[in-house]
Structure 1
Amino acid sequence: MTVADAGEDTRRERQPRGRVPGHQLWRRFWSRHNERAGYLFILPASAHLALFLLIPIGFSLYLSFHEWSTPGFLGAPFVGLENYRDLLQDEPFWRAMRNTATYTVLSVPLGMAVSLAMAVTVNRRLPGINVFRAIFFLPVITSWVAVSVVWITLLSPNAGVVNYVFSLVGLPPQAWLDNPRWAMFAIVVITIWKGAGFQMVIWLAGLQSIPTELLEAAAIDGANRWRTFWHVTLPLLFPTTFFLAVTGVIGGFQVFTPMYVITEGGPLGATDVAVYHIYKRAFQEFSMGYASAQAWVLFAVIFVATLLQLWYVRRRGETSLA
């Protein structure tokens, strides 16, 4: 062993174990071709995520503490928590939040029930069943604008097909989209019709993952279809139910397109939901700072609602184990 080798060994012994110098980490990274190629592959997606999601989110947080009402990045006065304090007394915003909660409470369970019924219906080995699955899924891939035009025509108070059917059974016609009493209900029906196909696919995946041995065992024990579904199928679908419930609540609080295209928040603010209210505040009144504060309050509500669902599931799991 030479003197140089002995000195190199001494330097290696002096280095703390578990720590690698920065230049060696960089050299090791670029010496591994597979890792380098992997990072290069995810670079475009990461740049897109940072440019169009992370940076706007950070900028909106910055705006929520400033009075930013004119285009430009400089010159916006810092107001601290004033925007958030004003929100506490902003009755139109909280009315929009109540409308959003009403929409979510109506659309999420009804949509899950309808889509589950569709999934049970098409979960059969019948000739041409794939055609029905495609028909049920077709509204999901249809443009919201096209769907809105169709439903505005169907719900027309004078020439709509729905009121015509009502007249055939002796019911009075209704101004579905012009009556504050019925407007939200009509929007809920439209969104359920459009989104049920997607949830049907998720339910169908859950149904097909249930072992057939359990269903056969229930049939041997004398359980009919309803008891088998209620006591065997539905409990085993709990992970799917939880996933659809969480995503449904998040999507319900973020609903925007049907209110924007069909009702424009009307009539009399009956369908003015949170995201549409924020949109008007930001892009019609150009109060970007105040709208950003509203957006972060909405984010906090969605975050808390999601945490409560996760807490319920965890507590349910601990109770079942006990």
Structure 2
Amino acid sequence: MTTVQTGTTGARRRDDSSRRREGRAAWILAIPFCLLFLAFTAWPVIQSLFMSITDTKARDLRHPFSVNVIGLDNFAKALSDPIFRQAAGNTAYFVLVGMPLTLVVALAAAVALDKGIARFRAIFRLGFYMPVITSIVAVAVVWRFLLQDPGGLINTALGWVGITGPNWLGDPSWSMPSLILMATWRNFGTAMIIFLAGLQAVPAELHEAAAIDGAGAWKRFRHVTMPLLRPTLLFVMVTTAIGYLQFFEEPFVMTKGGPLNSTISLSMYTYQQFGFGNYGLASAMSYLIFVVIAIVTAIQFRLLRERT
């Protein structure tokens, strides 16, 4: 009996010693990442949070300890800035129209690839995803030439059928819809791939059972596919909304925020403030964008979370 207990105690000690060695090895391997994270992520975030409550400007970079703490004045100044409010409205417009449009196009393409285009599925999947992996600057430049007036390919094609196309990027009424169209074309490929994976995970037996009960294609999609696609839809909505709330490259390359600030976004206006040297104000704007993203994400989780 004593021998068994001694053997058990020795085995436990060896196991404890082995776990300690593994723990030390894990920490040693994690130290480079932790140092990089602290230096290039955690510290800049903390520094920018401090800058948001100070009057830091470009001239203060040489004397960072001479800045004045002004509390929430930068946040109040941002919220009272008419251009910032216009940028917030433009961003809301872009998200509220662009995100549903992107999701609808992506889901339609995923359903078509899952059911209707089985033979050439790989080719279509690659073609639909190609804009995602293409440089956004290259895409924006090409679309700028397509939409230019006069001489753009789109207006030229419309002229062939007797339609006079608008000045897509020069008219405030059409500039934002043009950016939404381009963003939808470029980004639906990512959502499509994720939707396609979710559709292929739906058990075929459920569709067969619903068909036996007399459910048509639309009812099967609505009552069988969509409930099981809820986690996938939540993920796609959250990631798409976060990306669209930070949209920057499209107006920066295609319109420079014009005409008449009709396409300036929150991210672009914040970038401009950094360029003007208003680092404290720009940092405050960045955190306002972060708060908006957090609120929108929380709302989406609340609406689409699994109900038990």
TM-score by length of 2: 0.88
Q: Which residue of structure 2 lines up, in the alignment, with residue 157 of structure 1?
A: 149
Alignment of 1:60-71 (within 5 A): 60-69=48-57, 70=59, 71=61
- Residue 67 (structure 2) pairs with residue 76 (structure 1): yes
- Residue 281 (structure 2) pairs with residue 281 (structure 1): no
Contact preservation (8 Å) 2:230, 2:304: no
- Residue 200 (structure 2) pairs with residue 208 (structure 1): yes
Which residue identity is paired with 1:76? Answer: V
Identity %: 37
How far apart are the structure 1 equivalents of 2:29 and 2:186? 35
Which residue identity is paired with 2:108? Answer: A
Q: Which residue of structure 2 lines up, in the alignment, with residue 19 of structure 1?
A: none
Measured after TM superposition, the shift of residue 56 of structure 1 is: 1.2
How far apart are the structure 2 equivalents of 1:115 and 1:92? 33
SS in 2 for 1:132: helix
Contact preservation (8 Å) 1:177, 1:263: yes
What RMSD over aligned residues (CA atoms) do the two structures have, in Å?
A: 1.9
Q: Which residue of structure 2 lines up, in the alignment, with residue 296 of structure 1?
A: 287
Equivalent of residue 271 in structure 1, options 241, 263, 268: 263
How far apart are the structure 2 equivalents of 1:226 and 1:128? 24
Moved more, 302-311 or 249-258: 302-311
Which one has the largest radius of gyration? 1
Measured after TM superposition, the shift of residue 208 of structure 1 is: 0.8
Equivalent of residue 58 in structure 1, options 46, 64, 79: 46
Measured against aligned partners, the alpha-carbon deviations of 1:75-114 in whole angstroms (never above 9, x if no partner) come to 2222222212222321111111111111000111110000
How far apart are the structure 2 equivalents of 1:76 and 1:307? 35
Measured after TM superposition, the shift of residue 295 of structure 1 is: 1.1
SS in 1 for 2:172: coil
Contact preservation (8 Å) 1:259, 1:272: yes
Q: Which residue of structure 1 lines up, in the alignment, with residue 254 of structure 2?
A: 262
Equivalent of residue 252 in structure 1, options 244, 251, 260: 244
Moved more, 237-246 or 72-81: 72-81
Q: Which residue of structure 1 lines up, in the alignment, with residue 11 of structure 2?
A: none
Measured after TM superposition, the shift of residue 30 of structure 1 is: 9.8
How far apart are the structure 1 equivalents of 2:18 and 2:262? 59
Measured against aligned partners, the alpha-carbon deviations of 1:127-152 in whole angstroms (never above 9, x if no partner) come to 33211111111111000111011111
Counterparts in 2 of 1:290 and 1:236: CA distance versus 1, 3 Å? same
How far apart are the structure 1 equivalents of 2:110 and 2:143? 24
Alignment of 1:1-322 (within 5 A): 32-69=20-57, 70=59, 71-72=61-62, 73-124=64-115, 126-283=118-275, 285-314=276-305, 317=307, 321=308
How far apart are the structure 2 equivalents of 1:259 and 1:179? 14
Contact preservation (8 Å) 1:67, 1:76: yes
Provide structure 1 residue ranges, at least 5 long, that are not aligned to the other structure.
Answer: 1-27
Measured after TM superposition, the shift of residue 29 of structure 1 is: 8.9
Contact preservation (8 Å) 2:137, 2:253: yes
TM-score by length of 1: 0.84
Provide structure 2 residue ranges, at least 5 long, that are not aligned to the other structure.
Answer: 1-15
How far apart are the structure 2 equivalents of 1:108 and 1:64? 30
The structure with more helix, counted as a fraction of residues: 2
Which residue identity is paired with 2:183? Answer: T
Measured after TM superposition, the shift of residue 43 of structure 1 is: 3.0
